[in-house]
Structure 1
Amino acid sequence: MDLLVVALAGLGTALATGLGALPVWWLGDRAELLRPALWGVTVGVMSVASVVGLLEPALDAGSAGEVGAGLAVGVAFLLASRALLERRHVTIAGHDGPGVRTGVLVFGVLLVHSLPEGFAIGTAYASETAGLGLYVILAIALQNIPEGTSVAIPMDAAGIGRARQFWAAVATSVPQPVGAAVAYLLVAEIEALLPFSFAFAAGAMLSLVAVELAPQAFARGGRRLAAAGTALGAATMVALALAFGV
């Protein structure tokens, strides 16, 4: 029964990611005018998430060597994935172009970073500390919402439909219930992997911001909007981190 509760908790955090697509839908035709700001939001959200939500807990739990290795492998993973996509003609539902490539990269990086977050859920439940499991679930679920927005923004820019945006956002968090269940059953073994896995995800996410998202945000003729969006995205994630002590 406890395992089922843990898996359902992970599923709940995954579904929360889909809520992040809703603000993009609400903007409708105005999204094109605000595109630099939307890309900026993605830059801010993912920058803070990578440092506060991934790199900081990696440093708290592991050695400098483990974290450094994870960062290096994460950077290499992102750059190799980007190079592979540049050599291939990638389409989603008949849409192609740089926006689709960016969307695929955002999807892939968030998918990868969801597994260690699932580990964190399972480990928190296994610790049997009163209220810790619920605390971690709420923190991750709320942080998943703006990350879902980060998935929807490049897909919307590429002309991909709303239903696909929603389910793509949810799909990025599918590893969370899996990771939660595995960590609950194998807590000692998983705890040893957390520093590397968090650092790996942080390296991939920071690289994505540097080589793909920031250029998209600031190369569209609306630098002030992009800067404002970046500040809004970063402030949102910092506020969530402070509220939940992440």
Structure 2
Amino acid sequence: MQSFTMTEILPAFLLTLFAGLATAFGAIIAFWGGSKNTKVLSIGLGFSAGVMIYVSFVEILVKSQDAFTLKYGEILGESLGLVSFFIGIALSFIIDQAIPDDINPHHSLDVENSIDHNDIQSIQKHRKSLSRMGIFTAIAIALHNFPEGFATFISALDNMTTGIAIATAIAIHNIPEGLAVALPVYHATGNRKKAFLYALGSGLAEPIGAIIGFLILAPIMGDLTLGITFGVIAGIMVYISFDELLPAARLYGNDHTTIFGLVIGMILMSVSLILFKL
């Protein structure tokens, strides 16, 4: 069993909270009528994907295999790390498929473009459906954010540099999610406070997921548990990157803005990991 002090737990939790609160920032953007220049957001989403893909393969998956190797030897250890990695991808896929496409935040990030802002009668006619869409999108995002919060928290506990990078990437990823929640609620009700609280609540699932996951795993934390946890986390983050971040980056920008952000994210992540070892 591995024990953690409050000086280790609190910073990791605050990073997870920071990542979750980014949905509230997305709601604020919705109140401005949505960002018209979305190239910066596209680069940011590509950057997030670059950070998460790089750190998953270079750092987190390696930690999983190392933990298994200590217990089972090199060949079996590396194999079990890969099994855990693909389990993480499978879990993310199952969660994603369990949510209907019309309320899945990662299949409807262009919700703003589906609303005719100049057609007031159309908006009024569909207020109830818009409000329902916002509520269910908030629930869907909350479900997705549970494992993301746990991944951020555990990564920060193990390595604060990695944790900061992942928290930043998740925060950028959460901005359009908050916008996807707030836009339909705001247009349906005209109530900024209500739209903001829905977006905020969906983001708070991240620190809640971190606490619940930690309370369950902390008593049994060891080489085996760490191996499984890090492998699953790597799988979750790679799935998020390829299924959510990169498609959203292209949606808000184009191929060039996406690959630019992706490469910059990988470069900065690689440099930060090297500097941490100096």
- With the length of structure 2 as denominator, give the TM-score of the two structures: 0.61
C-alpha deviations, 1:77-106, integer Å up to 9, x for none?
A: 122112111367458975459x87995675
Aligned partners of 1:207, 1:240: CA distance in 2, in Å? 23
**Residues 64 and 81 of structure 2 are in contact (CA less than 8 Å); yes or no, is this contact kept in structure 1?**
yes
1:229 corresponds in structure 2 to: 261
Give the partner amino acid of 2:234: A
Deviation at residue 16 of structure 1 after TM alignment: 4.0
Distance 2:198 2:15 in 1: 19
Instruction: Kindly provide the CA deviation profile for residues 90-135 of structure 1, in whole angstroms up to 9, marking residues without a partner as x.
Output: 58975459x87995675244134245436x44xxxxxxxxxxxxxx
Identity of aligned residues (%): 15
Say whether residues 1:172 and 2:210 are aligned partners.
no
Q: Paired residue for 2:38, among 33, 42, 57?
A: 33
Is residue 20–residue 174 contact of structure 2 (8 Å, CA) maintained in 1? no
How far is the alpha carbon of 1:70 from its aligned partner?
Answer: 0.5
Task: For 1:96-107, list aligned pairs within 5 A.
Answer: 96=134, 103=141, 107=145
CA 1:192–1:182: 2 relative to 1, 3 Å: same
Q: Is the 8 A contact 1:114 1:174 kept in 2?
A: no
Structure 2: segments with no counterpart, 5+ residues: 69-76, 106-129, 184-194
Which residue identity does 1:56 align to in structure 2? Answer: V
Q: Aligned-pair RMSD on alpha carbons? A: 4.1
| Map 1:4-83 → 2, pairs under 5 A | 4-17=6-19, 30=35, 32-34=37-39, 35-62=41-68, 63-83=77-97
Cα distance change on mapping 1:159 and 1:179 into 2, 3 Å: closer
The structural deviation recorded for 1:205 is 2.0
Determine the structure 2 residue equivalent to 1:117.
155
Aligned mates of 2:215, 2:143 — CA distance in 1: 26
Q: Matches of 1:31 and 1:38 in 2, distance apart?
A: 15
Could you tell me whether the CA contact under 8 Å between 1:82 and 1:105 is conserved in 2?
no
The answer to whether the Cα contact below 8 Å between 2:92 and 2:236 also exists between their aligned partners in 1 is yes
Amino acid at match of 1:60: D
CA distance in 1, matches of 2:144, 2:82: 22
Instruction: Summarize the Cα distance change of 1:230–1:192 in structure 2 as closer, same or farther, 3 Å threshold.
Output: same
Q: Against the structure 1 CA distance between its residues 59 and 226, is the aligned structure 2 distance closer, same or farther, given a 3 Å change threshold?
A: same
- The size of the alignment, in residue pairs, is 227
In 2: Cα distance, 1:102 partner to 1:224 partner: 30
The answer on whether the counterparts of 1:151 and 1:168 sit within 8 Å (CA) in structure 2 is: no
Which whole-Å deviations, capped at 9, do the CAs of 1:29-85 have from their partners, x for residues lacking one?
Answer: 546532433332332232223223421211222212321220221121122112111
Gaps of 5+ in 1: 122-135
Instruction: Give the AA of the match of 2:63.
Output: P
Question: Post-superposition shift, 1:190?
Answer: 2.7
The residue aligned with 1:154 is 177
Distance 1:240 1:169 in 2: 27
Higher mean Cα deviation, 61-70 or 34-43?
A: 34-43
Task: Note the alpha carbon deviations across 1:185-207, whole angstroms, 9 max, x for none.
Answer: 65xx4332111111112112212
Asked if the contact 2:23–2:178 (Cα under 8 Å) also holds between the matched residues in 1, the reply is: no
Q: Secondary structure at the match of 2:233?
A: helix
The residue aligned with 2:163 is 140
- Matched with 2:117 is none
Distance (whole Å) between structure 1 residues aligned to residue 206 and residue 91 of structure 2:
17
Q: Distance in 2 between matches of 1:69 and 1:61?
A: 13
Q: C-alpha separation between the residues in 2 aligned to 1:40 and 1:108?
A: 22
Normalised by the length of structure 1, the TM-score is 0.68
